[in-house]
Structure 1
């Protein structure tokens, strides 16, 4: 209970909220935290006027160990349930907004159909947040994009890069676009992993991209494109429907963005995490294979 409480405080950022979720009073939570800190001989949590409750540097390191302990206990519960012929488990997934919209609902629906005893917990954040959560073991599995060499990776899909522009833009007359075509264009750059890839694409041609705006959401970029404020580079899969007066063109030669499933250690995942990975790979296997075939033919 002590370990679970410390981890719950980190998740909720509050003694009171952590106590409510674990059915404990606030004074009881404070006593347990003080007892744990006394036993360990170090301060784990401190109050900050600006940020509220924050974990100390050593507290953050201990949190990772505590999360690993809870992960191992989760595996024990799964083993016992399997012995009894039951199927229970919980997998905590982290994903960036586009992945949450595009992949997660389909994966959860299929898991609920085939594995009704498995629970999926979802945390939505930026690409960098998802990677931080993986590093600190806040989540069991994440949807990521390169660079993600710090983790064990399972390829999910290869998503083709495209250029999005107004119908009034001169490049609309071309069937496809090359990076040199974009040399003088005003680019609306999307955060969430596009920054590094766009920069790398232009560096291949010794061109510096003309970044006019940097936005967090694709919808913002599309609205700006409708007002003829620039063009953007994104992926085909990111656009569920094309707004009026906007067109897309392929980048030539075909270029792709890898979208991966990532775990801290593939040799140390729970059964629930493995079910999530297998379900996701089964659902989107055709998209990965189609992209690979397109690339081989380009």
Structure 2
């Protein structure tokens, strides 16, 4: 029977592997931790040799890629680093100091609408906290939360995998070309959109659109599914379809594009999400409280 190796990890090894996953590079990870690239390679090789399995593979298309077992180990390592940070926070608090770090994940519209005000207030009231921001699609943020890559995210449902804190309800609207027949109406009903070429957002937004149409025994005629709302608005300007989005996400409208509310009023929920509400760091809790104090329970409807 093959003997199972007894593993002894040190903090430097854990930090290095997590940093490699963040940077996608041995060289960049080494620079961040003040190590040479050969030293990084030796440490990774030694760890893999001790484990008897590969954690990182080189891929021509994607560069450095963690194996399946490597990804699972990374989740554990991120949890360990999070616990290290909590210890540092507790010790600092005992000395009357406030330190800590929070890694936020937010989709582009949330970054524009929420994050600048949140960061400004956190820096004014909690200058000892370190704030890191990663911008991605809603789908990416949910994956970052699952893998503990970020501490907290701003997402939209479905969000059954996480502990959530309701933030904002944002009313759905439709952006139309000014010459579209529906633009003459003060508001638009879902039944008005039968066979209408639609442009919708990716990463969870499309789920709600399909559900709304299904409730009306209709199927949406979706022409494009996009990451960026600005691209959709440009398509509306060229007469390529109409965009279903939310009032809060709607950018300044260019010439020949108008928006109309959807009736009856339909709202999209925006939530703060964490992997485990009972196990967040002090810095993450500050982010949650700051965000809720600025935006919580708001209805964006006019």
Match of 2:105 in 1: 94
Is 1:39 matched with 2:37?
A: no
Q: Which runs of 5+ in 2 are unaligned?
A: 1-11
Is 1:201 matched with 2:199?
A: no
Q: CA RMSD in A?
A: 1.3
Aligned equivalents of 1:290 and 1:45: distance in 2? 46
Is 1:132 matched with 2:143?
A: yes
Alpha-carbon shift at residue 143 of structure 1 (Å): 0.6
- The correspondence for 1:249, drawn from 260, 263, 268, is 260
SS in 2 for 1:184: coil
SS in 2 for 1:87: coil
Structure 2 counterparts to residues 1-298 of structure 1, below 5 A: 1-285=12-296, 288-290=297-299
Aligned equivalents of 1:188 and 1:290: distance in 2? 24
Alpha-carbon shift at residue 225 of structure 1 (Å): 1.3
Alpha-carbon shift at residue 251 of structure 1 (Å): 0.9
Aligned equivalents of 1:88 and 1:238: distance in 2? 33
Aligned equivalents of 1:265 and 1:189: distance in 2? 31
Determine if contact 2:170/2:299 at 8 Å carries over to the other structure.
no
Determine if contact 2:194/2:220 at 8 Å carries over to the other structure.
yes
Alpha-carbon shift at residue 290 of structure 1 (Å): 3.7
Aligned equivalents of 1:273 and 1:106: distance in 2? 16
Determine if contact 2:100/2:130 at 8 Å carries over to the other structure.
yes
Determine if contact 2:137/2:227 at 8 Å carries over to the other structure.
no
Alpha-carbon shift at residue 11 of structure 1 (Å): 0.6
Q: TM-score, normalised by structure 1?
A: 0.94
SS in 1 for 2:53: coil
Aligned equivalents of 2:60 and 2:256: distance in 1? 49
Aligned equivalents of 2:255 and 2:234: distance in 1? 10
- Give per-residue Cα distances to partners, 1:207-261, cap 9 Å, x unaligned: 1111222222111111111222221110000024222222211111110001101
Q: TM-score, normalised by structure 2?
A: 0.93
Alpha-carbon shift at residue 110 of structure 1 (Å): 0.6
Greater fraction of residues in helix = 1
Aligned equivalents of 1:139 and 1:107: distance in 2? 17
Alpha-carbon shift at residue 8 of structure 1 (Å): 0.4
Query: Which deviates further from its counterpart, 236-245 or 138-147?
Result: 236-245
Match of 2:9 in 1: none
SS in 2 for 1:238: coil
